[in-house]
Structure 1
């Protein structure tokens, strides 16, 4: 799924491989930002406030999934309302973040003329409520609350020599990857479990997890057949 930036709201999953544009734009989008200051009492000075780092943003929006094509809908051929509901439910069940892109009247071009959305962030689905209202032709109204998601991982370190002394050096963190991790892998020529662990899990030393999960003996490690499908942890 490739998002062409025009005015609207998009929700996507797995590095934009799956997603949709909201068929009816919300009347409003509320973005909550703030910080939590800590207060301390200092003798002779009284109470002071220490400003902390900004909190993760929260986004709330309301709209509806239409059963029929209304003149104000922004999608030419919307899916059935329950399709959108089941799609969001499926994403929630994965316990993975999605991506929210909101482009309104305040979007702007960068130095190369590429349009920049007002809001483009990874987010967790914090709350999703929906209902069918009597009198509508099957439309489903919904409320969605999202919270900004920050990708994180432990920093890898390596031992290097500095002026004759061994010191720890932190490696640069990898670029955040929104893609869903694969569940299986099919061996190709030159593959070994260490190489598979490095390629699929990002750490070759985790190969014993793959070995145990697939019931592979030590004697089989050097004779795994090409085309064998193995489960990944």
Structure 2
């Protein structure tokens, strides 16, 4: 379970390799994560009980929060958007039946996973106009069929690469709290590649601590 306490935490939902991005305006008080390994025990004659470790189960993430009806001072996003907009976008993603990406960035660790929206419930809070919501996500495992090739009257299965939505975007726009190390960690999966980003964009060492919000960075492949 993750407990959000300040603006160092940010949660994004994105669709279509970041073609659509929602920066959640209010951090939920807590995020529930579940990724049990699913071990099973068996009785073996003469040995007693043994434990067989199974493949890890897919991660589940759920949380409750609200979309604000006005620009409260505690918003983590810089711009206020009408709460109905978030509902329309999320319901549209669900209708398309394609996974989204859940991105959590914090001071100590990050989460970046393809996920399906399993449940999304919402209601308008009486008197305030805020929209309260509950969302449940499940990690999405990309898969593809493998063609069967007939050789010498014997069927063999040809391995096929698993499809993925992890195409690295060519550019990235800086948001509040970003650094080249964090961009390398979230966008490239390796924070050690921040120097590649620095060199590619011609950023001087003296500019590293004063990168402007909204700066468009080119990202290495």
Instruction: Tell me the TM-score normalized by structure 1.
Output: 0.61
1:18-59 CA-to-partner distances (Å, cap 9, x unmatched) read 121001111221211212122222112222221101100001
Q: Does 1:130 align with 2:118?
A: no
Q: Does 1:140 align with 2:168?
A: no
Count of residues in correspondence between the two structures: 160
Gaps of 5+ in 2: 1-7, 168-221
- After superposition, the Cα gap between the structure-2 partners of 1:169 and 1:130, relative to the gap in structure 1 and judged at 3 Å, is closer
Instruction: Tell me the TM-score normalized by structure 2.
Output: 0.65
**Structure with bigger gyration radius:** 1
Mapped partners of 2:159, 2:50: distance in 1:
38
Q: Assess if the C-alpha contact under 8 Å between 1:57 and 1:148 holds in 2.
A: yes
Which residue of 1 is the match for residue 218 of structure 2?
A: none
Mapped partners of 1:59, 1:7: distance in 2:
16
Mapped partners of 2:35, 2:155: distance in 1:
40
Runs of 4+ in 1 over 6 A off after TM superposition: none
1:135 is displaced (CA, Å) by: 3.0
Q: Assess if the C-alpha contact under 8 Å between 2:33 and 2:59 holds in 1.
A: yes
Which residue of 2 is the match for residue 62 of structure 1?
A: 64
Mapped partners of 1:67, 1:48: distance in 2:
55
1:76 is displaced (CA, Å) by: 2.4
1:86 is displaced (CA, Å) by: 1.1
1:118-137 CA-to-partner distances (Å, cap 9, x unmatched) read 1001000111111222232x
1:143-202 CA-to-partner distances (Å, cap 9, x unmatched) read 1110000100023466799xxxx99573440551479xxxxxxxxxxxxxxxxxxxxxxx
Which residue of 2 is the match for residue 153 of structure 1?
A: 144
Which residue of 2 is the match for residue 46 of structure 1?
A: 48
